[in-house]
Amino acid sequence: MKPLLSFFLACTIGLTCAQSFDYSRMAPHPRLLLKKGEAEEVRKNLETNEPMLRVHRYILDACEQFMIAPTVERKLEGKRLLGVSRTALKRIFYLAYAYRLTGEKRYSQRAEQEMLAASAFADWNPSHFLDVGEMTMALALGYDWLFDVLQPSSRETIRKAIIEKGFTPSKDEQYNWFLKADHNWNQVCNAGMAYGALALYETDTVLATEMLERCMQTIGLSMKAYDPDGAYPEGYNYWGYGTGFQVMLNAGLESALGTDKGLSQLPGFLASARFMEYMTGPTGASFNFSDAREKGEADAMMYWFAKKTNDPSLLWVEQEYLKKPALDFAEDRLLPCMIIFGSGLKPNGIAPPQSKIWVGHGKTPVVLVRTKWHENEGLYLGAKGGSASTNHAHMDAGSFVFEAAGVRWAMDLGMQEYYSLEKENVDLWNRSQTGQRWEVFRYNNFAHNTLTVNGKLHRVEGFAPLVKTFTSADKLGAVIDLTEIFKDDLKRSSREIAIVKEKFLQVRDEVETANQPARIRWTLVTAATPKFLNANTIELSLDGKKALLVIESPKRVELKTWPSQSQHAYDAPNPGISIVGFETELKANQKSTLVVKLVPQP
């Protein structure tokens, strides 16, 4: 697979590559995702698949609400039109799906109104090009799926909008920096432009070909994120976003042209679905490191991975989500994909994953341990290394979450919504060592389950690799080398974090000071109520259950709690959250071992 990645990257840096596709194989409309005649197979699958029928009804119910809502309007939220673009994509995709599955023209007519409303916008806000990418995909899907029932004048209006408000600004260097990005912007924007190109191929062959070839020459940069084994650097929610649009691209190319030219086979991409499955604990909450939310949600794209790899066990967590009384979906505007990709997959043939541990390296190394796979059973650990310099990262190298007995005892506060900070003029995207991003409470090391040395921020450019893993029944976890994170204050630092005998969590920090003393802070963020029992033990209570935080070494520590709210007015509140732990003083040139156990009580 490495030569394949080299091909995409060679194209990216400007080497001449032959045309990527045999464009004579372009399928007729509708060609994106669900081709002509394939809706019948989806309908038949719904007759015998109750979970998918529930999702289908969810989509139709949403369409009824769209029918009575005003059409989309061009209203910015701060610098973004993204919320409007996402609303348009959701409405148009759902309504077009409803028309194709039911044949009721009221759905296609309402989708046409939404497309015309978006086409009438002065622009799609190219200064924040994600907005353009998602809006272009929205109109492309509607144009393709409803091609035969759109009014000819509407088709022409939509076509011109895709070209003038999508393609044209994507060729402007002040807007198209996404072509050089190695993260989700590349995937989302390229996928949107590619969908526009696939939709308009007959009428605008030269321009469409240019857009598709440009996509194939630049998409490889973002695909490097999955190398080598699928651990996605940007975390839970951005896996859903970046990977969701990558799957849309791959699946759209396959349906329209018969091939994605090897994109799906690039290193780590297919393996990333297993990463995502292990990113959810028994409580249903995610390991929400970086800019992510704790709430776990069903993800339509997992069905594509399950079918592509012929591995239904990838859907174990997904099926649990579909059993819940209230349905919640990641990237819900792409939800029809769940039914399309899930067609033919039998809900009764899904077994849980076989391994209790998943380890990933790359930009954000993680170790993920889940001892049992039924809801609220077993123990769960998610721990990470990596660097604060990664896109959407926090200062959280060495941090972890831990669940036992259906309770998340160690948590991550997750992200703060961007607009709440941007409207207060917080320079959120400055990731330099002195950037204001690190003054945001939820983003720095003081509010994570990690170490802090001498009251300082972690080093932004430091990188913490996984250097050892434990895969036996006695110990499931890994060692994270934190030396680069603290290199200005410590000579060496490593953190061993593991579930021991499937009974408790143990965190073992080996630290060595340099030529000056150091004060070490060890912190745990929790929704539990803490109670100091003695000089080395803190009792945690939550939902009628208890766990003990036991500091075994060193014997002399200063147990502490810290505020879970900063003094900045722009910081989001964290009600009911405690930050507990201890501090200890180390002498110059001293080696020390810090051993902490988190022990669930019967």
Per-residue pLDDT tens for 82-101?
999 999 999 999 999 999 99
Distance between CA atoms of residues 303 and 342, nearest Å: 5
Indicate if the pLDDT at residue 64 is higher than 50: yes
Task: For the domain covering 357-600, report its CATH number.
Answer: 2.70.98.70
pLDDT for 16 equals 40
Main-chain phi, psi angles of 171, to 5 degrees: -95, 0
pLDDT for 94 equals 99
Q: Topology of domain 23-28+46-344, per CATH?
A: Glycosyltransferase (1.50.10)
Distance between CA atoms of residues 150 and 185, nearest Å: 31
The more confidently predicted of residues 482 and 2 is 482
Equal fold, 23-28+46-344 vs 357-600: no
Q: What is the pLDDT of residues 198-224, one digit of tens each?
A: 999 999 999 999 999 999 999 999 999
Indicate if the pLDDT at residue 189 is higher than 60: yes
State the residue for tokens 């939509």.
Answer: 158
Residue spans of the domains in the chain: they are: 23-28+46-344, 357-600
Using DSSP's 3-state secondary structure scheme, residue 498 falls into: strand
User: pTM of the full predicted structure?
Assistant: 0.94
How is the chain split among helix, strand and coil, in percent rounded to 5? 40, 20, 40
Structural Rg of the chain based on CA atoms: 25
pLDDT for 4 equals 55
In a 13 Å sphere around the CA of 401, the CA atoms on its Cβ side amount to: 27
pLDDT for 207 equals 98
Indicate if the pLDDT at residue 10 is higher than 90: no
Please report, to the nearest 10 degrees, the dihedral formed by the alpha carbons of residues 424, 429, 433, 439 taken in order: 30
The more confidently predicted of residues 8 and 80 is 80
Indicate if the pLDDT at residue 291 is higher than 80: yes
pLDDT for 346 equals 87
Indicate if the pLDDT at residue 14 is higher than 60: no
Indicate if the pLDDT at residue 13 is higher than 80: no
366 near 382, Cβ under 8 Å? yes
452 near 398, Cβ under 8 Å? no
Tokens of 497: 């974090």
Type of residue found at 544: G
* Phi-psi sector, 392: left (phi>0), alpha (psi -120 to 50), beta: left
339 near 322, Cβ under 8 Å? no
The mean of the pLDDT values for the chain is 96
Type of residue found at 12: T
